[in-house]
Amino acid sequence: MKNADLLIAVNTVWVVLAAVLVMFMQAGFAFLEAGLTRMKNAAHIAGKNVLIFGVCSIVYWAVGFGFAFGDGNALIGTSGFFPSTDAFLSVGAAPFTFFSTIPGAAGYLFEVVFAGVSLAIVWGAMAERAKLWVYIVFGAFFTVLYSVVSHWIWHAGGWLYSIGMQDFAGSTVVHYQGALAALAGAILLGPRIGKFGHDGRANPIPGHNMPYAVLGTLILWFGWFGFNPGSTLGVVTGEHIGYFGYVALTTNLAAAAGAMGGIGVAWLVLGKPDVSMMLNGVIAGLVAITAASGFVAPWAAVVIGAIAGGIAVVGVLGVERIGIDDPIGAVAVHGMAGVWGTLATGLFAVPALASNLATGSGGLVYTGSFHQLGIQALGLVAVGSFTFTASFGCLWGLNRLWGIRVEEHVETAGLDVAEHGMWGYPEFYIPVPGGYGTESHGHLVGHTHMREPEPDSVEKAELEAA
């Protein structure tokens, strides 16, 4: 085996491993979203992560991968649709010449899990009131939308890549896009029943399981070590061997700083160190460093993460204040933090690291030039206009034709039983042998489904005589 072949083999192992870590983030989203919503929707909220990843995987194989990374022009890939054996086994060959260090199959696997994450973000703001079929139809549409923007920013021939936009692993491509579609959906769906009073004030609708939300956040943090470091697409990056280790370092620092920023700002603003805001801070820190992780110094990663944690707290409260119901905080955590992370790269990018990655130039802090910051802002405006307009238009059309929100009685009963004919926690709703309320758990007061005991024969006779 030649050294070049050995390097491709090692690259492939690393990229596939990173892809598996990113796919595991779906479990993190399932726990986080189920924990931050109500018990009556738990199975629906968690289960849709499996459904949407299935939809995304098929659509991305059929057309999305070709739009995103197929050979084409500055706006879109025009080849590589319904790819088969030859395209997936080749390295650096048409239609996927972009992947010069790994086979096309490894490239597909790594990129499809990113598309799945972006799609998972969409439903956070639409939770507890969207019809199940909307996940499928809009999921397919959004996968295509996502792929087009991926081409702009990540493909070497994309127009934003060509002018030097820096988005190492997707603060804009993945998180900002997902949040834009989420915002469009939340606006069109309207708030959940009872979320806002007649005076316009928001009523709290707490999630049913905070430990689930904590576990989900930890899984996401863990998976992010595939998300950002895996975006090196190899073990050698520019002139540096094992550069993915450096990317993992900046990623971890930003997440830690986000936790501190989130809980600190929550303590100041709310008067209590809110656990959910700390979790939002962690994710916001990770979202923000996603664009910058390969470009910035460790100290900058701490600054980016800490500010992102504060943005998450203020953003969640701000979104609620203007009358938008976002149960998971997707618009603030993924959207606002994604914007901050993209702009922060234009501020803090180290010139030597930008040169090593052959993308853009140094940031304002190092160069005194607004050039890179301007490119980052241009990318945000272009992606924001395109993705929000297309998402809103698609969801508006679906809403006009068939309605995308469940009926009031369905929302009241809960999507678990109304949409799926089952419960995430059946023992709290129906008698289950050996479950809550039976003799096995008779000590649990308040969770009873037992009927009154039948009178014995003597008591029955006395009752009848009376």
Label residues 424-458 b or e (16+ Cβ within 10 Å = b).
Answer: bbebebeebeebbbbeeeeeeeeeeeeeeeeeeee
Average pLDDT, the chain: 93
Q: Which domain holds residue 93?
A: 3-413
Q: Provide mean pLDDT across the span 104-110.
A: 98
pLDDT of residue 451: 43
- Residue 352 in this model has a pLDDT that exceeds 80: yes
Percent of the chain with pLDDT over 90: 88
- Residue 229 in this model has a pLDDT that exceeds 70: yes
pLDDT tier for residue 425 given thresholds of 50, 70 and 90: confident
| Chain segment 127-161, per-residue pLDDT in tens | 999 999 999 999 999 999 999 999 999 999 999 99
pLDDT of residue 426: 85
* Tokens representing residue 69 in the block: 């990374």
Within this chain, do residues 443 and 360 fall inside the same structural domain, yes or no?
Answer: no
Within this chain, do residues 366 and 262 fall inside the same structural domain, yes or no?
Answer: yes
Is 426 contained in some domain? no
Within this chain, do residues 329 and 445 fall inside the same structural domain, yes or no?
Answer: no
Residue type, 25: M
Within this chain, do residues 441 and 372 fall inside the same structural domain, yes or no?
Answer: no
Compute the distance between CA of residue 140 and CA of residue 448 in angstroms, rounded to an integer. Answer: 44
- Residue 458 in this model has a pLDDT that exceeds 50: no
**DSSP conformation class of 433:** T
Within this chain, do residues 231 and 194 fall inside the same structural domain, yes or no?
Answer: yes
- Residue 88 in this model has a pLDDT that exceeds 90: yes
- Whether the CA torsion 141, 143, 146, 147 is positive or negative: it is negative
pLDDT of residue 445: 47
pLDDT of residue 434: 62
| Chain segment 192-211, per-residue pLDDT in tens | 999 999 888 999 999 999 99
Is 419 contained in some domain? no
* 114-118, 163-167, 416-420, 447-451: least confidently modelled range: 447-451
Is 23 contained in some domain? yes
Q: Provide mean pLDDT across the span 83-87.
A: 96
Within this chain, do residues 311 and 172 fall inside the same structural domain, yes or no?
Answer: yes
pTM of the complete model beyond 0.75: yes
Within this chain, do residues 399 and 438 fall inside the same structural domain, yes or no?
Answer: no
Is 420 contained in some domain? no
pLDDT of residue 412: 93
- Residue 429 in this model has a pLDDT that exceeds 70: yes
Is 448 contained in some domain? yes
- Residue 446 in this model has a pLDDT that exceeds 80: no
- Residue 407 in this model has a pLDDT that exceeds 60: yes
Instruction: State the CATH number of the domain containing residue 406.
Output: 1.10.3430.10
Within this chain, do residues 385 and 460 fall inside the same structural domain, yes or no?
Answer: no
- Residue 62 in this model has a pLDDT that exceeds 80: yes
Q: Provide mean pLDDT across the span 29-47.
A: 95
- Residue 453 in this model has a pLDDT that exceeds 60: no
Instruction: Select the more confidently predicted residue: 211 or 456.
Output: 211
pLDDT of residue 438: 58
Q: How many CA atoms lie within 13 A of 337 on its CB side?
A: 40
Within this chain, do residues 403 and 440 fall inside the same structural domain, yes or no?
Answer: no
Within this chain, do residues 208 and 291 fall inside the same structural domain, yes or no?
Answer: yes
- Residue 246 in this model has a pLDDT that exceeds 90: yes
Please, is 421 exposed, middle or buried when counting C-beta atoms within 10 Å of its C-beta (0-12, 13-18, 19+)?
Answer: exposed
| Chain segment 153-168, per-residue pLDDT in tens | 999 999 999 999 999 9
Within this chain, do residues 455 and 391 fall inside the same structural domain, yes or no?
Answer: no
- Residue 325 in this model has a pLDDT that exceeds 90: yes
Q: Provide mean pLDDT across the span 29-33.
A: 97
Is 425 contained in some domain? no
Is 304 contained in some domain? yes
Is 162 contained in some domain? yes
Within this chain, do residues 407 and 450 fall inside the same structural domain, yes or no?
Answer: no
pLDDT of residue 268: 97
pLDDT of residue 440: 52
Count of beta carbons in the 10 Å neighbourhood of residue 48: 25
User: What's the structural domain count of the chain?
Assistant: 2
